Chain A
Amino acid sequence: MKTPVLKPLAVALIAVLAAPAFAAAASQLPAPEKIVLKNGLTVYYLRNSDLPVVSFRMFVRGAGTAFAPAGEEGVAGLTAALMTKGTAKMDAEAIAEALDFMGASFSVSAADEYAQVSGDSLTQHFPRLMEIAAGCLTGPSFKDEEFAKERARQVDSLKSLKDNPGAAVRSYFRKAYFDGHPLGRVASEPSLAKITLQAVREFYARRFRPDRAIAAVVGDIERERLVELLEATLGPWANPAGAAASEAIPPLPRPKGKTLVLIDKPDATQAYFVMGAPGYAMGDKVTPQATVMNTLWGGRFTSWLNTELRIKRGLTYGASSLFWTWAPGGVFQASSYTKNDKIVEALDLTFGLLAKGGREGFSAEEVESGRNYIQGQFPPTLETNASKAGAYVRLAFYRVGFDYYDKYLAAIAKVSPAEVKAAAAALLPQNDYVLVVVGRAADVLPQLKKYGTWQEKKITDAGF
């Protein structure tokens, strides 16, 4: 492949970041119809009968990884996974069999700030899909045997992840950057070992409730049929009597000074790095300027970073940057990988470009190109039923309005070179950052010490 394909997580993020439009006339995202079920659950709905398929999406606020109690990192992911492993009426096998039989997909997963529920099927199977989804959401059985199996499977998946340094470095970075903060609650072998089934049950009971959920349905289904179906399936989901657990996330840490964490992987023939620094919150007014700046600095194929590391020097297959955004704040992140003996060259180039961005800014032509690119690449991010449904729940979750993308694209169209330079000066880190490298310490550590106060870990150590 010419370029690595973006991982789903990054794609979701880009959909948020890359929000403006070329032809200002048509709305990027058709306004959905709001349906409120008798139990208060809000469902946004849009009909699309082009193909016989329907997508369902739901966010449950306060049920993400950030809400795991300290020491029980991973409880959100474990709870989410176990929700499809048995209900009052169906055991895990029956659920899997029913979903596979329809060729449908259904999952519950834990993002940072929310749990995400996704279901996609052919129109003819959608009623059955929603019956199963409602069973999983409202009455998971959380059996001992399933808990033991799933926890063991997740522990082993984490060990296996460490055989792939490009994937493992992201978890190490998250832990190092957010050490102690809820956004750093990364599941590890030791933390999973401490979680009890009772902890899973409590996490579910306190955090999965209709007054915390936002849902959307997009596809080939009539409104009346949908309302009837939703009332019959999700309608009986009642709010528990007690108050819901907190869904607040404290302000993000702001690293001071230069921190380097090296993870020794003695058999690695490439060194993988991720460096990060404070960014901005979802919906922040700097979003358009910062998005154009990031696009030009490290967000696309011809970005400065990819041009210097890959296109001009052939040091790597991929070099990129992005902004992660959450309600309480965000992070700027740059990453790449190269042969062990080239890591200093790659990092020096990266730091040189970070300094250059704020110092020199970008040319008028570059900024025009960045604006065009963001606008031109936007429509496909909302092309499918699933992506529209995902956008409805995301925009509702962040309370930014369904015209968010139209406003965003209109703002992108007006971003000036001076604004981009200001965004670079404010957001590209110089002296305060966290740098994480996975590589062969014997080769790379002596060269890396100049990048910060360092600590060393072994890839074989438990946890991240």
Chain B
Amino acid sequence: MLKAWRAYKALNEEQKQIIEQKQVRLVRPVDELIDLLKPIGDMDKLVPSGCTVGCTLFIVVAAAIGSQIGAEAINAPGWLRVVTLLILAVLFVFPIVMYVKTRKIDVSDNLRGALLPMLNVLRDDFDPKEGMELTLDLRQPMAKEKLLREEKPRERMTETFYSDAWMSAEGVLVDGSKLRWSIVDVIRHRTVTKKTARGKWKTKSKDSKKCNVDAELTVRNKAYEVSGEAETGEKKSTLTVSRTIKLAGVNATDPKVILEVIAELFKRVEPAK
């Protein structure tokens, strides 16, 4: 937690502003985008999950109980018990305070799990002198602002849908072609309440998502021969592709899945002979 906070403090003002706003539009060469966003991704890796904080609190409570039992057993003086409890109280409050603080600086895992790997892979394809336009929404995929609808398909089952349009990008490639893509994840959070054989009520939840990738490529007719469906103009042709990929969980989308859709466009063009 402290590491995450220190990493946040080490960021520059622009990076801190990106974390604060979470919805940003950036226009600059791809190398500069990587330089700007990578430290944010590195910091995000250090932000603890709710589980880590829960475990820490559990350990502190267990230590408090254990210390009191131990103190009783050795007949420790009262002041020692009070000091021990005070230390443990601080250790209990500290992770909660840090969790609240670091939750504010937590950004969507899509940044370090999908976007940064994609930029690293595509960095040499984009014209280094041209600015790449990147629109990002780094709020958590299941933030309440992204709530789409709630359904009750059957009794004791709730399905909550979220729409996460977390990235769109556009840029000029080294050969002068133009590439743009946008990604919208539709997340389904399903909660089912069941009665077990022992008569206890248990609630289980499961997440899945559909990753919608739309990509568009504009190439010069003199340089490329286009096969398949395309909008062909006098000098340029535009190819489009839309794919929906079903994925389990709400983890960051595998960059390979997105790049496969983009590569589909390039499979439909051949260098002109």
A binds B: no
Residues on A close to B: CB < 8 A? none
